[in-house]
A = this chain, B = another copy of it.
Amino acid sequence: MAMLTMVKALNLALSEALREDADVVLLGEDIGQDGGVFRVTEGLLEEFGHDRVIDTPVAEAAIAGAAVGMALYGLRPVAEMQFSGFAYQAFHQVEGHVSRFRNRTRGRYSLPMVIRMPYGAGIRAIEHHSESREAYYAHTPGLKVVIPSTPRTARALLRAAIFDPDPVIFYEPKAVYRAMREEVPDEPEALPIGKARIVREGSDITFVAYGAMVRAAEEAADDLADLDGVSAEVIDLLSIAPMDTATILNSVEKTGRLVVIHEAPRRCGVGAEVSARVAESGIEHLCAPIRRVTAYDVLFPYFARERAHLPSSDRIVGAAREVLAF
């Protein structure tokens, strides 16, 4: 067992995969010599060489599109987009090809590939470096979309993603990269993609969150317990697509109340989907409106104003109280 940051945990998962499977290759901007702008790939070039850990020119469509070709030929490419905000340069490859090869060829070809990218706010970065747009991918059939919340889940989900037979968008909450350490087992472990995690059980209200927002939801649950004697259940989705509807519905059946939390804009976000699933299949258990605590449907501000635009535990508590008072 080692206490690792998420950056180190991701690095561990990558090095394990590279070591175990000669088909695994990494490619992306500054991932080799430089070790990645967040150091996620540090030391991998030295250990695995230029044929496994490949620095590329600045061309995201090429990174994604070439990874498609590599996967078709039999490799397991793990492509990095340096920031999720620059993955749109590759969006046509993701929407048009990454998601489609299995269906298009009726299983003759498939794409065992991962596209990793850091997302989200909170590190005082410049424009385009702070957005969360997992919903774009979740709305794209044929993709899996995975978002870890802690070092251990990051390592275990990345392993699962790399060895998954289908393409996985791996969204990394960069606010968590170095914000915490967690014990990570010595042996490789994988989490099943598509399963949520109940971070803490509760009976009065359900919080659904993922990524960096899990921490905020936990804090809100603490505050509610301390201040109001309210017992909140916190669900960490881990996988956005597929989504673990059963875990959400079971929880709401128990609590009757739901708040969904994410950093992304609200309109057509993952919160809308969670809410709609409950409104579709669990409405009879609801005793109150479903609230979404999210970023707003405005441009996410440059960093001087970013804190004010992020869901905080206070805002979650506020929404929970409204829901509880309904």
- The interface of chain A, by Cβ under 8 A from chain B, is 85-86, 88-89, 91-92, 95-96, 99-100, 103-104, 127-128, 133, 135-136, 138-142, 241, 243, 264-265, 267-273, 275-276, 278-281, 283-284, 286, 288-292, 296-300
Contact = CB atoms under 8 A, between A and B. Distances in A.
Contacts of A103: 298-299
Q: Copies of this chain, how many?
A: 2
Nearest to A270: B268
Most chain B CB neighbours (cut-off 10 Å) among A85, A264, A273: A273
Contacts of A142: 298-299
B279 A268 contact: no
Given A265-B139, A299-B142, A283 B288 contact: yes
B289 A141 contact: no
17 contacts: A88-B92, A88-B96, A89-B92, A91-B91, A91-B95, A103-B299, A135-B135, A136-B139, A140-B265, A241-B297, A268-B268, A268-B270, A272-B273, A275-B280, A276-B276, A279-B283, A279-B290
Contacts of A296: 141
A155 to B, nearest CB: 27
Given A138-B268, A142-B299, 19 more contacts: A85-B96, A86-B92, A88-B91, A95-B133, A96-B128, A103-B298, A103-B299, A104-B127, A136-B139, A139-B268, A139-B269, A267-B273, A268-B269, A268-B273, A278-B279, A280-B290, A280-B292, A281-B289, A283-B288
